[in-house]
Structure 1
Amino acid sequence: MKNSKLSSMQDLALIEEIKRMKSRYCRYVDTKQWEKLAGLMDKKISMDFRDPEGKQLFSFDNRKDMISLTSSMLEKAVTVHHVHNPEIELLSSDSAKAIWAMEDLIAFPEDAQDAPFKVMHGFGHYHERLERTTDGWIIKSLKLHRLKLEYTY
């Protein structure tokens, strides 16, 4: 950590706050709580989602567009997002970066005619820049690097 003025207990408390924020992120996506999800992101969030070959799947430079597309795409789907094995580095008491191992499952109902697939099962890592605001930690940038994607059509 670059700022040595933070005590060990402060460090642990800040790291725990970041973990809780990321847990809410997953829950809000899976329960389709789009306004609450937006509250965990900077208004000008930079987001980049890539497949295992490095091809860009989605890119956003603001939360409004991300929430709009994601909510409409996942409206009929059941999603499950898990993150674990966090690597969190505090850069200061109000700034951090994190890497999370992730797994997600997206399943559309059988009668979803316009679904791009029936089931997608993915694995990878989120790489994030975080900032602490008066309302708590938010995501400033997020890059999802996929290791594996499995589709059922």
Structure 2
Amino acid sequence: MTQHADLVACHELTQAKAKYCRTLDTKDWNGLAALMVDDVEFGMSDGESEPHMTIGRDETLALLQSLVSGARTAHQVHAPEIDLNEDEAQVIWAVQDRAVFDDGTSVTGYGHYTERWVHQGDAWRLASLLLTHLITDVH
């Protein structure tokens, strides 16, 4: 890739991740699904135990829906570390996510998304995601 193409790819990846956070927080499941490859791998970990993994877009969406059901959420990412290799990118994002449930319980997590994105057609699609919470506050 040229330096210009790398900059364009980095911009497109940050836009795709911003859309991921927005569609998850607004529960736009069709918009979220459109960002994923069919056989997306999704996992969550506390940084110490083996991550719980799902494989496939439908399974991943079902898991995400179950996790945020009855909650208002806000996912914020920043400080991306982007490693481009042609039509594939490895990205690590710092993340802070918050869920406030109907019963008043709130959970705030701090950690990292470790992801693999692939360029398909004219867009970047999420191929794998591992969310690792290093700190979790429950109130």
TM-score, normalized by length of structure 1? Answer: 0.85
Structure 1 ranges of 4+ moved more than 2 A: 52-56
Look up the match of 1:119.
106
Structure 2: which amino acid aligns with 1:27? R
Shift of 1:54: 2.8
Look up the match of 2:13.
18
State the secondary structure of the residue aligned to 2:32. helix
Structure 1: which amino acid aligns with 2:91? A
Shift of 1:52: 3.5
What is the alpha-carbon distance in structure 1 between the residues aligned to residue 57 and residue 30 of structure 2?
A: 10
Residue-by-residue CA offset, 1:19-66 (whole Å, 9 max, x unaligned): 00000000000000011101111111111100143353x321111011
Q: Is the 8 A contact 1:52 1:146 kept in 2?
A: yes
Shift of 1:110: 2.6
Out of 89, 93, 101, the residue aligned to residue 108 of structure 1 is 101
Q: Report the count of equivalent residues.
A: 139
Look up the match of 1:3.
none
Q: Is the 8 A contact 1:126 1:142 kept in 2?
A: yes
- Pair 1:90-2:84 in alignment: yes
**1:5-84 superposed matches below 5 A:** 6-56=1-51, 58-84=52-78
State the secondary structure of the residue aligned to 2:49. coil
Structure 1: which amino acid aligns with 2:61? I
Please tell me whether Structure 1 or Structure 2 has the larger radius of gyration of its CA atoms: 1
What is the alpha-carbon distance in structure 1 between the residues aligned to residue 130 and residue 13 of structure 2?
A: 17
Look up the match of 2:129.
142
State the secondary structure of the residue aligned to 1:19. helix
What is the alpha-carbon distance in structure 1 between the residues aligned to residue 97 and residue 106 of structure 2?
A: 10
Structure 2: which amino acid aligns with 1:17? E
Q: Is the 8 A contact 1:82 1:104 kept in 2?
A: yes
After TM superposition, the structure 1 stretch with the greater mean CA deviation from structure 2, 40-49 or 97-106, is 40-49
Gaps of 5+ in 1: 1-5, 112-117
Q: Percent identity?
A: 35
Look up the match of 1:114.
none
What is the alpha-carbon distance in structure 1 between the residues aligned to residue 107 and residue 7 of structure 2?
A: 35
What is the alpha-carbon distance in structure 1 between the residues aligned to residue 47 and residue 137 of structure 2?
A: 11
What's the C-alpha RMSD, in Å, of the aligned pairs? 1.4
Shift of 1:73: 3.4
State the secondary structure of the residue aligned to 1:66. helix
Gaps of 5+ in 2: none
Q: Greater strand share, 1 or 2?
A: 2
